[in-house]
Amino acid sequence: MADGIAAYSGETGGDIQRYIVAPAMLEMVGPVSGKDILDLYSGAGYLSRRLAALGGNVTAVDSSERLIGIAREINEREHEKIKYAVAEATDLSVIEDSTFDDIVCNMGLMMARDLGGTVAELARLVKLGGRFIFSVIHPCFCMPDGVWVRDDEGRFLYKTADNYFTEGWYPSELTGAARSRAKTKHRTLARYVNALSARGFNVRRISEPRPSQDVLTLKPHLEIYNRLPVAMVVEAIFPFL
């Protein structure tokens, strides 16, 4: 899993994560007090700590020992009760079947090399009637060949979109704001939905979060995400009830 994303976003997430994506994830998840929650691709643990602070019984899993170490170190200061494990998303055999009420994955599913295998493992771990809630870079507007075009004064004019159906990995040498996409894979919207359906999940809601006016007052550079969504948040039920 991509260490670069944690390095770029820091302990509390970059501005997109902190002010757009994480609030949308938390809103979609809703009340968590007393719930058993798996945070897959947990990275440096930002969402894990938020959910634990709200009363969730959180297990954070990432394949990167380095990131789990960072998450543990940060959490020693915040004193949230979180279980940590280093494991691959397609092999979570250290966890018993039907363990979790909710499974969350915050901007990590794009790093899955085997999407179908990952979803199959999550179907094993979630309780009947449980949920899988995840966020990804918006597949329709943030593809590798899409770029923002600016005028001579640096103002954003429009964004190009091309080769949507060409799935593949973003280059690892991306810099600046684009660094958050390094070592992630572009997949079509249909690819995500069909992978869920193949394992018994039914999509119930999709959110395309945008910055609020209060956020724009504080972080005006996020205004471009009121024009095109940067992320997509999905709630899927296992199975549909």
33-81 pLDDT tens trace: 999 999 999 999 999 999 999 999 999 999 999 999 999 999 988 878 8
Predicted local confidence at residue 194, as pLDDT? 98
pLDDT class for 4, splitting at 50, 70, 90?
Answer: very low
What is the average pLDDT value for the chain, to the nearest integer? 89
Predicted local confidence at residue 11, as pLDDT? 58
How far is residue 181's CA from residue 143's CA, in Å, rounded to a whole number? Answer: 10
Q: What domains can be seen in the chain, in order of their start residue?
A: 3-138+185-238 (3.40.50.150)
The answer to whether 124 and 96 are in contact (CB under 8 A) is: no
Predicted local confidence at residue 8, as pLDDT? 38
How far is residue 116's CA from residue 89's CA, in Å, rounded to a whole number? Answer: 11
What the block records as the tokens of 46 is 């930002």
Q: Is residue 13 predicted with pLDDT exceeding 70?
A: no
Predicted local confidence at residue 6, as pLDDT? 45
Predicted local confidence at residue 9, as pLDDT? 44
Q: For residue 13, which of 112, 109, 108 has the smallest C-alpha distance?
A: 108
DSSP state of 180: G
Report, as an integer, the average pLDDT of 180-195.
Answer: 86
Contacts for 34-39: CB closer than 8 Å, 24+ residues apart = 35/101, 35/102, 36/99, 36/100, 36/101, 36/102, 37/100, 37/101, 37/102, 37/103, 37/104, 38/95, 38/99, 38/100, 38/102, 38/103, 38/104, 38/122, 38/125, 39/104, 39/105, 39/106
Q: Of the ranges 115-129, 154-168, 178-192, which one carries the lowest mean pLDDT score?
A: 178-192
Report, as an integer, the average pLDDT of 224-238.
Answer: 95
Q: Is residue 28 predicted with pLDDT exceeding 80?
A: yes
The answer to whether 199 and 119 are in contact (CB under 8 A) is: yes
pLDDT class for 181, splitting at 50, 70, 90?
Answer: low
Predicted local confidence at residue 172, as pLDDT? 56
Q: Of the ranges 4-13, 65-74, 144-153, 190-199, which one carries the lowest mean pLDDT score?
A: 4-13
Q: Is residue 177 predicted with pLDDT exceeding 60?
A: no
- pLDDT tens readout for residues 73-128: 999 888 788 999 999 999 999 999 999 999 999 999 999 999 999 999 999 999 99
By three-state DSSP, how is residue 189 classified? Answer: helix
Predicted local confidence at residue 92, as pLDDT? 95
- Residue 187: phi and psi, rounded to 5, are -130, 155
Report, as an integer, the average pLDDT of 183-188.
Answer: 88
> Position of tokens 């007393």?
34
By percentage, how much of the chain surpasses pLDDT 70? Answer: 89
